[in-house]
């Protein structure tokens, strides 16, 4: 098939199996890094832009503003190119330099939040405030507010359709990171509509407040909800069976372990588990 826009390459990402020693299980990674922007956030970013254009909140030639650690920003930069929009990404010191370069290469304007922050402190609250302020002040601008935007979880419908087609023997459990809650909610709700018995496990960084545990700084970027911020309105706790926390050390060491064993240069954060029995290691993220 001949495509005419980069965003037409979103989706249809492959699966990769991971051996689970001494378990009657097959762990399957959905390789979302194969999306054109390098993450699953491409799906929801385009979904939010399309919804805003359709309902008139965003006019042709308008400006998108969003707080991002990099992945959502890259997805929005791609969508902005497709629809001829301006995009301003509000970031903090945690944003990876390669993601900043990617957003700039795609035409995004980068705004850093001001302030003295600890190295392990994610400045999500300050990012949200600045993004909302810019969205309100700039003519023709819209703050996308992915945490509360219903088009966020709607953007993952295609991913679930892909999983069901790629795993014809069924999915017994789904494990995914939870940040805004958009992907976890969108995927879990649709999997349970297909099979209510599917077990859904949401993973957050130790220090995140999504499941009510005490908040403290953490290094994991792009996931969890730090202390001082509010859990996104898109998160539906009713479709989540279990919440699990992982420490920075567990997350980073597991990513390195899988990358070295499977020659996988970037470990995705969303996992489908297809087996007659399921189990979850606290090291899986």
Order the strands of the 242-246 sheet from edge to edge.
Answer: 15-19, 26-30, 270-273, 173-177, 199-205, 242-246
CB 114 within 8 A of CB 133: no
CA distance 125 to 194: 36
Order the strands of the 86-91 sheet from edge to edge.
Answer: 109-112, 86-91, 63-67, 141-143
Token pair in block for residue 203: 């993973």
Beta-carbon contacts of 139 under 8 Å, excluding residues fewer than 6 positions away, are: none
Residue tagged active-site, from 30, 33, 41, 192:
41
Say whether 213 is catalytic. no
Token pair in block for residue 273: 């588990």
**Cα 44 off chain centre by:** 8
Tell me which residues are annotated as active site. Answer: 41
């Amino acid at each position: 098939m001949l495509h005419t826009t980069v965003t037409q390459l979103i989706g249809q990402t492959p699966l990769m199996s991971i051996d689970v020693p001494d378990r009657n299980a097959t762990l399957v990674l959905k390789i979302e890094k194969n999306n054109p922007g390098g993450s699953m956030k491409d799906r929801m970013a385009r979904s939010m832009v399309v919804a805003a254009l359709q309902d008139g909140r965003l006019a042709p030639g308008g400006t998108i503003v969003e707080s991002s650690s990099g992945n959502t920003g890259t997805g929005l930069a791609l969508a902005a190119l497709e629809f001829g929009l301006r995009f301003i990404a509000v970031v903090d010191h945690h944003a990876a330099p390669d993601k900043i370069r990617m957003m700039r290469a795609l035409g995004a304007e980068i705004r850093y939040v001001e302030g003295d922050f600890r190295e392990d402190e994610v400045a999500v609250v300050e990012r949200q405030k600045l993004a909302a302020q810019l969205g309100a002040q700039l003519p023709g601008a819209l703050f996308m507010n992915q945490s509360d935007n219903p088009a966020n979880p709607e953007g993952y419908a295609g991913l679930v359709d892909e999983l069901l087609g790629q795993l014809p023997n069924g999915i017994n459990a789904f494990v995914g990171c939870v940040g805004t809650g958009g992907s976890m909610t969108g995927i879990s709700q649709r999997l349970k509509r297909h099979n209510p018995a599917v077990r859904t496990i949401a993973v957050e960084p130790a220090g995140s407040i999504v499941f009510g545990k005490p908040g403290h700084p953490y290094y994991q970027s792009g996931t969890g909800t730090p202390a001082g911020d509010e859990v996104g309105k898109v998160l539906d706790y009713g479709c989540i069976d279990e919440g699990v926390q992982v420490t920075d050390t567990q997350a980073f060491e597991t990513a390195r372990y899988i990358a070295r064993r499977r020659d996988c240069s970037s470990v995705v954060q969303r996992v489908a588990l297809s087996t007659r029995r399921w189990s979850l290691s606290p090291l899986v993220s």
